Amino acid sequence: MIPHQKRSWAEPFKIKMVELLKMTTPAQRRKAIKEAGYNTFLLRSEDVYIDLLTDSGTSAMSDQQWAGLMLGDEAYAGSKNFYNLERSVKEHYGYKYLIPTHQGRGAENILSKVMIKKGDIIPGNMYFTTTRLHQELAGGTFADVIIDEAHDPTHPHPFKGNIDLDKLEKLIKKHGAARIPYVCVAVTVNMAGGQPVSMANMKEVRALTARHGIKVILDMTRIAENAFFIQQREKGYARRSVKSLVKEMCSYTDGATFSAKKDALVNIGGFLALNDEEKYQEASNMVVVYEGLHTYGGLAGRDMEAMAIGIAESVQDEHMKARIGQVLYLGDRLQQADIPIVTPVGGHGIFIDAKKFLPHLKQDQFPAQALAAELYLDAGIRTMERGIVSAGRNAKTGDHYYPKLELVRLTIPRRVYTQAHMDVIAESVANVYDRRDKITGLRMVWEPQYLRFFQARFQVL
Ligand code: F0G
């Protein structure tokens, strides 16, 4: 019986338009995944039932955002949508200078080119694929300074994205502040399972780096989700709005890269934001070379308008409660079925621990890649590998990196799927778990030079 006092949360929106999904047969899926080289990135989306590949660019825009598209001012220079976006960025994040880019990695490219010199070290809270690659292409080396708990899939630490201040201090002592152009703080930490950084940690990182004259740059791709976790988990912040927490976090930093395809509820877009005028001048010149003029950066006017509106929607408490509520709901369902997942559950999805799910496979048999293929075969649900394939190879030795975390990501697009979809996902994962002993590993038969997880091909062992 439902107790009388109980009040469930529900989405703070209703559905105006729907997109029909295609159901496939097991035989069709077997053919599709084989043709895709057992890489879910190479499947056609038409062959997918529930698409949990990524939360990037896959959100449903609001009617306000769609209306914003109609207000696109498609001038080459000085579009009014750029100024609307600039206003939205100042209001919500507080940064002085804005450079739009086509998406997050466009901003990472520009930032890395203007800030990193050959031989520099860039500390960060766990690597992210594109971020680290741009640092390396600019001649730098990434150094992981995340707390050890982040590498433990079930450690209960509420802020597993935190930076380990001792590790950071030691790194500064070893290399000297002059070789560290900035510390990159990602909120939340994607590869650790969408784990947040606490406000206390942000302040401590700011204090430590300030003593050494080192800048702090945010990867603020999922900052609103991070702020929601601060509100829910960190002492002293329960009464603060997500909006005010987002702005406070930015205030401890000197700039940010942003993939608006996540938090900001748009299908394309990003930016680089900076407070330093000189670096901004350099970056706004560089963006002309790689993206487009500094008032559009590879985006149409209408894209910038949708982004300006999406940023405002992303920091609403009700939105975030429903967004994270849905992810937590799926996490609960999977835990009830004894599926090994990363806990505490993070912001943008559920991460299955493939090492525990498939203990009979060695890491170089690509357990997470094999499990993602198997999940697709079961019910047409598309997920993504976040393990040894994503980690890539050490550029100097050519060996695989062997990350501690070997995960399959079930990423939840924002405002797209229903609770019933979450139930179907949980049932399918439980089904695969029941026959896990029969799942075999994979052999990599082709890999590209950069970001191999996107395009590598495999065969069943
Ligand atoms: N930083 C983080 C933390 C990200 O998650 C991403 C993208 C980027 C930067 C790059 O942004 O894709 O707009 O160029 N993550 C996507 C994902 C690809 O599926 O996690 P982008």
Collapse the DSSP code of 387 into the 3-class scheme (helix H, G, I; strand E, B; otherwise coil) and give the result: coil
Residue 418 bears catalytic tag: no
Is residue 49 among the annotated active site residues? Answer: no
Same domain, 103 and 225: yes
Q: Are residues 287 and 366 in the same domain?
A: no
Same domain, yes or no: 294 and 342: no
Testing ligand 1's pocket by substitution, the residue of 52, 56, 268, 303 carrying the most ligand atoms inside 8 A of its CB is 56
Q: Which residues, at least 6 apart from 53, have a Cβ–Cβ distance to it below 8 Å?
A: 40, 41, 382, 383, 384, 411
Residue of 108, 111, 188, 190 to mutate, ligand 1, most atoms within 8 A of C-beta: 190
Which residue in 170, 172, 174 sits closest to 215, CA to CA? 172
Residues 148 and 43 in one domain: no
What average pLDDT does the structure give for the chain? 97
Residue at which a domain ends, from 270, 295, 314: 314
Is 128 among the catalytic positions?
yes
Q: Could you tell me the residue range of the domain that residue 70 belongs to?
A: 63-314
Are residues 200 and 171 in contact, defined by beta-carbon separation less than 8 angstroms?
no
- 262 and 326 in one domain? no
Active site residue 454: no
Residue 153, token pair as written in the block: 């899939």
The mean pLDDT of 281-293, rounded to a whole number, is 97
- Same domain as 123, residue 234: yes
Q: Answer yes or no: do 251 and 145 share one domain.
A: yes
- Which residues neighbour 142 within 8 Å (Cβ) at sequence distance 6 or greater? 122, 123, 124, 127, 131, 132, 135, 136
Share of the chain above pLDDT 70, in %: 99
Written as six digits, the tokens of 94 are: 């507080």
What confidence tier does 4 reach under pLDDT thresholds 50, 70, 90?
A: confident
Active site residue 219: yes
Residue 9 binned pLDDT confidence (cut-offs 50, 70, 90): confident
| 36-92 tens-digit pLDDT | 999 999 999 999 999 999 999 999 999 999 999 999 999 999 999 999 999 999 999
Catalytic annotation, pick one of 132, 222, 261, 386: 386
Amino acid identity of 150?
A: A
Residue 347 in tokens: 């912001």
49, 127, 351, 453: the catalytic one is 453
Handedness of CA 337, 339, 345, 346 (dihedral sign): negative
| pLDDT one-digit tens code per residue, 206-243 | 999 999 999 999 999 999 999 999 999 999 999 999 99
- Mapped onto helix, strand or coil, the DSSP state of residue 38 is coil
Instruction: Provide the 10 A C-beta neighbour count for residue 186.
Output: 28
Contact 52, 425 (CB under 8 A): yes
The answer for 235, left when phi > 0, alpha when psi is -120 to 50, beta otherwise, is beta
pLDDT in tens, 85-142: 999 999 999 999 999 999 999 999 999 999 999 999 999 999 999 999 999 999 999 9
Who's near 339: CB < 8 A, 6+ residues apart?
Answer: 352, 357, 429, 430, 433
Q: Is 76 a catalytic residue?
A: yes
* Structural domain includes residue 328: yes
What pLDDT score was predicted for residue 1? Answer: 60
What is the value of pTM for the model shown? Answer: 0.96
Q: Using one digit for the tens of pLDDT, what is the confidence trace for 345-400?
A: 999 999 999 999 999 999 999 999 999 999 999 999 999 999 999 999 998 899 99
> What are the residues facing 408 on neighbouring strands?
352, 385
Closest CA to 355 of 402, 401, 393, 394: 402
Of residues 433, 213, 255, 231, the one with CA closest to residue 347: 231
Q: Which of 55, 219, 254, 353 is catalytic?
A: 219
- Percent of residues, the chain, with pLDDT higher than 90: 97
Q: Which of 97, 128, 271, 366 is catalytic?
A: 128
Tell me which residues have their CB closer than 6 angstroms to ligand 1: 54, 56, 103-105, 128, 130-131, 186, 190, 219, 221, 259, 261, 270
Tell me whether residue 129 is in a domain. yes
Please list the helix, strand and coil fractions of the chain in percent, rounded to the nearest 5, in that order. Answer: 45, 15, 40
Average confidence (pLDDT) over 170-176: 98
Atom of ligand 1 minimally distant from the CA of 188: 3
For the chain, how many structural domains are there in total? 2
CATH of the domain at 360: 3.90.1150.10
> Active site includes 63?
no
